[in-house]
Amino acid sequence: MQKIKDIYITCEKGLELVAPIAKDAIQEIMNCFPAFKEAYPITILGNWKSEHSRTARNGNIILEPYESTDWYIGRAAQQSLSDERASGIKIKDGIIKVDGQISIDALYNDLSNDPYAKKIPQIQILLTKHDLYGTQRNGRLLNFCLGVSEENAFSVISTARFIKPNGRFDQEGFKTVVMHEFGHAIGLTRRGRKNTYEQLGSHCADENCIMQQQMNGDFSEITRRRLIFKAHGLPPICPDCITEGEKFFRNHLAKALSRNADFRNR
């Protein structure tokens, strides 16, 4: 099958070992759609930057808009300063360190306008080590969030809440949330689908499916069930989610084919 879209994984510096874990998680979801796996190759771009990523002015290095992962993170940190969710930003050895959280709304808005995504069909998975906060529909700020996604465009996921008090990384919990966010990016719980409910967006009502929402942000019970299912050779998403995903992929395959046909007919 021809390629429909690339899946690109980008990350902040320091998450180089986490990016392959995210790739495994996405691969596990794509394995639920064997007919479309090859059409969505997954590539780790890491701490991405274009050749236009920086300019020096008056001795200061300025990150060019949209030209690097660091620019997105820096913008989200700036927003956090004005929302008083962060008290300072430092850049040391090229690594952005924020005292506090960063704004998921800023990331969402900037990624929605990504000029590269308009030129090169892609779903971008951006990994940040900073804790995220965002605005609820009623305008109130959430204490924290684990991630956000836009259908057929991108997911953002934070690793911050998966570092245990002993410093160890909760790899399986993180994978569950990567799968969940990627599931939103491929439209698994589209509003109005059967067996869904509204809670911070549309979510799956199947109690063993990773596409349910956890109000307190605790995915440990869902992760426990996911791993039991996996041990029995069962997928992390329920039959309703698989049916919806197949619709998503068939729909985007049809669009890709008609684009090619238009191109040939020109």
The two structure tokens encoding residue 40: 């969505």
Q: Please, which residue, 25 or 238, has the CB nearer to Zn ion?
A: 238
Residue nearer to Zn ion on the CB measure, 101 or 212: 212
DSSP lists the bridge partners of residue 157 as: 127, 147
Residue 81 CB, shortest distance to Zn ion, in Å, is 27
Query: What is the CB neighbour count within 10 angstroms for residue 58?
Result: 5
CB 154 within 8 A of CB 182: no
In the complex with Zn ion, the residue whose CB is nearer, 123 or 241, is 241
Cα gap 125→13, rounded to integer Å: 15
Residue 37 CA to its chain's centroid (Å): 18
Q: Give CA 25 to chain center in angstroms.
A: 11
Q: Is residue 211 close enough to count as binding Zn ion by CB under 5 A?
A: yes
State in angstroms the smallest separation of the CB of 199 from Zn ion. 8
Residue 246 CB, nearest distance to Zn ion (Å)?
13
Q: Which stretch binds Zn ion (CB under 5 A): 138-146, 161-169, 196-204, 224-232?
A: 196-204
Tokens 């329920």 belong to residue = 238
Q: Which of 10, 204, 223, 245 lies at the binding interface for Zn ion (CB under 5 A)?
A: 204
Residue 222 binds Zn ion (CB under 5 A): no
Q: Token pair of 114, please?
A: 């990504």
Q: Which stretch binds Zn ion (CB under 5 A): 21-29, 63-71, 163-171, 197-205?
A: 197-205
Three-state SS at 206: coil
Q: Which of 6, 172, 206, 246 binds Zn ion (CB under 5 A)?
A: 206
Phi/psi region, residue 10 (left: phi>0; alpha: psi -120 to 50; beta: rest), is beta
CA atoms within 13 A on the CB side of 163: 10
Query: Is residue 238 involved in binding Zn ion (CB under 5 A)?
Result: yes
| Of 105-113, 127-135, 205-213, 243-251: span binding Zn ion (CB under 5 A) | 205-213
209 binds Zn ion (CB under 5 A): yes
Contact window for Zn ion (CB under 5 A) among 82-90, 109-117, 234-242, 253-261: 234-242
Helix and strand element counts for the chain (H, E): 7, 13
Q: Tell me, by CB under 5 A, how many residues bind Zn ion.
A: 6
Binding positions for Zn ion, rule: CB under 5 A: 204, 206, 209, 211, 238, 241
